Structure 1
């Protein structure tokens, strides 16, 4: 059973990333009284009931977003497993309107990596954009962007970290090789020699480590990524929210009392970060409760030419989501080159958003995302 206050706190960034507004999710959160396995008033039950209502209204994408919140942060019993299954089914229903979005399974010795893809074409392979979330976000949370990627000149793959969602692998010291395996799997249908990673939170760490070994990755854009101190600073680790520690223990198949000892050697060193020869862009939250400030300093000091966006916000910068989404997309386009007109338009919108009050940002977000092709 999870800490209910933490669930309500940390789910906000994920709710906003799926276009759920506070006036919608605040009353729903207020109805939640416990985190028992699907009982009345429980986390899973309230989110799932709202998801079912939306599904009955013929809104599969919105229903899937609510089932995603129901299984948050990870599957720990039958109720969350049903929510995950229904989330995937809802996304599968939605994608029937977008035949270009296809499933891809990558079978590896350690398990199966499941992905959603679009724009894979052996006759005209496009540069590849790989998107991954962190330890609590599944691929269905990000996959709705796939139908728009062709307009930006990309083929796309959205997948999950080991142990998250349908990824049956165990999160371990060599997990970055999973990304290389995904590139291998689509190498005859995408220009994987020009691959860019939009890798959020913990998957940013995987992508940077992979880039040190796989020169097909030509740029990494991330937000709230652990780099070094998160893995090594035991004083900081004692302050990390329980939901993060429990999730790490779940995907590494260890326990909350032993997980930090396990991951200590996974830290990227300053020397490794300085060895990166690709463009890197990163969004940092100044009041991040999960990632220590030393990691952002290390990135700034050791990675040459890094581009940074900083928000005075908590992990995931939920109050700046529209701005972050624009900036990360712009960063990918800068790395890729070309599309000058779209980049100029997005730059103008980013400048407007940067100085808007948050309420105005949210009201304007739908139009912004359409302009961005997201």
Structure 2
């Protein structure tokens, strides 16, 4: 189930340009694609998928498979609303796997069968680890968000694996990427719980959870619930972002509506009611959390400052609202991500026994 909706491609470039050039694509190439795109959904010259795929194919022909995977990632952005977007995702995976020998870390791909609402569902995961992985190391469970998925955040995952000298298990949250089930709070959390259980079998039993953007909602949930030994929330919505009166920006209503499984644009009341089901207020009112690091940019247009500052004063919790940057502090990631890695390294080193 999927649908298209009115979306201004130029506005997306205005918002996402720092992310495009900070994750591995040359600015000159991004600028060329930006100048060529005039329409969001048409799979034709001037269309988003067409122009990004054209760049990706050029990278692939030159043997630059990792850059091809990044460009196909932008071709399928922000959601799989039609067949051409799904095709771009398939090509991204193909190029990503071709690029794997050059990752600088060991790469494994697995499809796990996890419990889901009384049955099971398949969840594709990527496991990244240093070639000289020490014995008995923690595992970091990690994901992107509602529109930037596991292959789109690859470089950050490699940094985690190499600097922490740990295995990093990367997945798509429910309703995104290769997921075949819609995004719901409870259903998505059930899949995360299954992934946590699996991750505990891979290392020394200690598991951290890093979530970016909507992935941060699920890491906040696992951290607040004490399911993991450490949780990092980078730009995660937890409460105010789901308010009924909250106005979405840059097409986020359509992105979220697709992730939730709607096959046509939902009405404002229907979407607001579904969003409110995600509020983590019940967990925020409890005292069950493990160590947590909560980070976001102070100028985020998607997630109100409240959803970061609500963690201030909480036991075993560090809060960092970064000035001069927006959603997920993306324009300041070169300084923010080393802070995240340092916190994880110290926190996991101090963990004597895993949560059971």
Q: TM-score, normalised by structure 1?
A: 0.81
- Hey, what's the Cα distance between the residues in 1 that align with 2:211 and 2:285? 16
SS of alignment partner, residue 229 of structure 2: strand
1:107 to 104, 108, 113: 113
Pick the aligned partner of 2:189 from 171, 176, 180. Answer: 176
Query: Using the alignment, how far apart are the partners of 2:318 and 2:345 within structure 1?
Result: 15
Give, in whole Å, the separation in 2 of the partners of 1:21 and 1:256: 37
Residue 43 of structure 2 corresponds to 38
Tell me whether 1:250 sits opposite 2:255 in the alignment: no
Query: Aligned partners of 1:289, 1:309: CA distance in 2, in Å?
Result: 14
**279, 299, 308: which one aligns with 1:287:** 299
Q: Check whether the contact 2:139–2:202 (CA below 8 A) recurs between aligned residues.
A: no
Q: Offset at 1:69?
A: 0.5
| Aligned partners of 2:73 and 2:152 also within 8 Å | yes
SS at match of 1:331: helix
Which runs of structure 2 are paired with 1:213-292 in the superposition (5 Å)?
A: 213=225, 215=227, 217-231=228-242, 233-235=243-245, 237=246, 239-254=247-262, 255-257=265-267, 258-269=270-281, 272=284, 275-292=287-304
- Indicate the residue corresponding to 2:58 in structure 1: 53
Structure 1 residue 4 corresponds to structure 2 residue 16: no
| SS in structure 2 at match of 1:129 | strand
2:251 match: secondary structure: helix
Gap regions ≥5 residues in structure 1: 339-374
Work out the CA distance in 2 between the residues paired with 1:242 and 1:127.
37
Partner of 2:216: 204
Deviations 1:276-307 (A, max 9, x none): 43221122212211111221221224455323
Q: Is the Cα contact below 8 Å between 1:276 and 1:303 reproduced in 2? A: no
Are the counterparts in 2 of residues 221 and 331 from structure 1 also a CA contact under 8 Å? no
Q: Are 1:74 and 2:87 an aligned pair? A: no
The whole-number CA distance in structure 1 between the counterparts of 2:18 and 2:120 is 31
* Aligned pairs for 1:77-226 within 5 A: 77-97=82-102, 100-108=106-114, 109=119, 111-119=121-129, 124-144=135-155, 145-146=157-158, 149=161, 152-174=164-186, 175-192=188-205, 194-213=206-225, 215=227, 217-226=228-237
> Does 1 or 2 have the higher relative contact order (CA < 8 Å, sep 6+)?
2
Q: Aligned pair in 2 of structure 1 residues 75, 161: CA closer, same or farther (>3 Å)?
A: same
Aligned residues of 2:295 and 2:308 also touching (Cα < 8 A): no
What is the CA distance between 1:212 and its match in structure 2? 4.0
Relative to the length of structure 2, the TM-score reads 0.85
- Residues 294-303 or 29-38, more deviating: 294-303
Deviation at 1:311, TM superposition (A): 2.7
Judged with a 3 Å threshold, the aligned counterparts in structure 2 of structure 1 residues 75 and 305 are, in CA distance, closer, same or farther, namely closer
Moved segments of 4+, more than 6 Å: 120-123
Q: CA deviation at 1:186?
A: 4.0
Say if 2:144 and 2:150, in contact at 8 Å, map to a contact too: yes
Render the CA deviation track for 1:124-164: whole Å, top value 9, x for unaligned: 44210111111001111223434872663311101111111
Greater Cα offset, 100-109 or 294-303 = 294-303
Describe the shift of the 1:171–1:234 C-alpha distance in structure 2 as closer, same or farther (beyond 3 A).
same
Q: Is the 8 A contact 2:219 2:232 kept in 1?
A: no
- Partner Cα distance (2:71, 2:130) in 1: 29
